[in-house]
Amino acid sequence: MANDREVLREIWDGKLPICFQLAQEEIMEIQQPDAFYVMVPRLSYFPLVTDKMKRHFLRYISQENSDSEMWLDYNGQPLKWHYPIGFLYDLYCGNDPQLPWHLTVHFTKFPEDVLLHCTNKDVVEAHFMSTVKEADVLKHRGQVMSTMQKKDHNQLWLGLQNDKFDQFWAINRRLMESHGDSEGFKHIPIKLYSDDGTCSQRLVSPKNNDGSRKTLQQMIAELYPDKLDVQLRTHGIVIPTDTPLQWLSEHLSYPDNFLHMCVF
Amino acid sequence: MSITTITFDEFLASAKEFVEKSEKLGDGWALKDNKTDNLKTYLRKDTFVQCEDGSMNHLLKVEYVIFYNLSYGVPSFSFNAWNSSGTLVTLDDIRKMSFIQINEKDFYSVITQQEHPIFQRPYFIMHPCHTETLLAAFKNKSMNIIVTFLGLITPLIRLNLPLEYGL
Query: Which pLDDT tens digit goes with each residue over A227-249?
Result: 778 989 899 989 999 999 999 99
Q: Are A213 and A245 in contact (CB under 8 A)?
A: yes
> Do the domain assignments include residue B102?
yes
Report the distance separating Cα B62 and Cα A8, nearest Å.
45
Q: Are A260 and A83 in contact (CB under 8 A)?
A: yes
CB neighbours of A194 closer than 8 A, spacing ≥ 6? A200, A262, A263
The SS3 call for residue B74 is: strand
Query: Which residue type sits at A219?
Result: M
What stretches of chain A adopt beta strand conformation (E)? 15-22, 36-41, 71-74, 77-78, 101-106, 190-193, 199-201, 232-234, 237-238, 259-263
pLDDT computed for residue B147 by the predictor: 87
Query: Which pLDDT tens digit goes with each residue over A83-119?
Result: 999 999 999 998 888 789 989 999 998 998 899 989 8
What one-character-per-residue DSSP string does A126-194 give? HHHHHHHHHHHHHHHTTHHHHHS-HHHHHHHHHHHHTT-HHHHHHHHHHHTSPPTTSSS-SS--EEEE-
Four-CA torsion B31, B32, B33, B37, nearest 10 degrees: -130
Query: Which residue type sits at A254?
Result: Y
Query: With bands split at pLDDT 50, 70 and 90, how would you rate the model's confidence at B61?
Result: confident
Taking the domain A5-106, which CATH number applies? 3.10.20.620
> Do the chains contact at A116 and B114, CB–CB below 8 Å?
yes
Domain that holds residue B109: 8-158
CA of B113 to nearest chain A CA: how many angstroms apart? 7
**Average pLDDT score over residue span A58-68:** 86
Alpha carbon distances (Å) from A30 to A26, A34, A36, A196: 12, 13, 18, 38
> Do the domain assignments include residue B166?
no
Contact list in B for residue A127 (CB cut-off 8 A) is 114
**Average pLDDT score over residue span A152-166:** 94
* Lateral strand order in the sheet of A190-193: A199-201, A190-193, A259-263, A232-234, A237-238
Among the residue ranges A69-73, A185-189, B120-124, B160-164, the one predicted with the least confidence is B160-164
Contact list in B for residue A80 (CB cut-off 8 A) is 115
Q: Which of A112, A115, A201 sits opposite B70 (nearest CB)?
A: A201
Domain count across chain B: 1
pLDDT computed for residue B2 by the predictor: 45
Higher-confidence residue of A150 and A105: namely A105
> Do the domain assignments include residue B1?
no
Q: Are A67 and A49 in contact (CB under 8 A)?
A: no
Alpha carbon distances (Å) from A203 to A7, A20, A126, B9, B115: 26, 38, 24, 13, 20
Q: Are B89 and B135 in contact (CB under 8 A)?
A: no
pLDDT above 60 for B27: yes
Q: Share the mean pLDDT of chain A.
A: 91
Interface predicted TM-score (ipTM) of this complex, two decimals: 0.89
> Do the chains contact at A134 and B71, CB–CB below 8 Å?
yes
Contact list in A for residue B39 (CB cut-off 8 A) is 200-202
Query: With bands split at pLDDT 50, 70 and 90, how would you rate the model's confidence at A178?
Result: confident
pLDDT above 70 for B139: no
Longest CA–CA separation in chain B, Å: 47
Please check whether residue B115 touches A, CB under 8 A.
Answer: yes
Higher-confidence residue of A189 and A141: namely A189
Q: Are A103 and A37 in contact (CB under 8 A)?
A: no
pLDDT above 50 for B100: yes
pLDDT computed for residue B107 by the predictor: 59
Higher-confidence residue of A220 and B36: namely A220
B51 belongs to the catalytic site: no
For B2, what's the count of Cα atoms within 13 Å in the CB-facing half-sphere? 7
Q: Is A172 left (phi over 0), alpha (psi -120 to 50) or beta?
A: alpha
pLDDT above 70 for B134: no
pLDDT computed for residue B1 by the predictor: 33
Please check whether residue B136 touches A, CB under 8 A.
Answer: no
> Do the chains contact at A114 and B129, CB–CB below 8 Å?
no
Cα-flanking dihedrals φ and ψ of residue B114, to 5°? -140, 165
| Catalytic pick among B129, B147, B152, B159 | B129
> Do the domain assignments include residue B164?
no
Report the distance separating Cα A46 and Cα B2, nearest Å.
39
The nearest alpha carbon in chain B to A118 belongs to B113
pLDDT computed for residue B158 by the predictor: 66
Query: With bands split at pLDDT 50, 70 and 90, how would you rate the model's confidence at B63?
Result: very high
Q: What percent of chain A has pLDDT over 90?
A: 64
pLDDT computed for residue A159 by the predictor: 97
Interface of chain A toward chain B, CB-CB under 8 angstroms = 80, 82, 112-117, 126-127, 130, 133-135, 137-138, 141-142, 189, 197-203
The nearest alpha carbon in chain B to A127 belongs to B114
Q: What is the CATH number of the domain that holds B50?
A: 3.30.1460
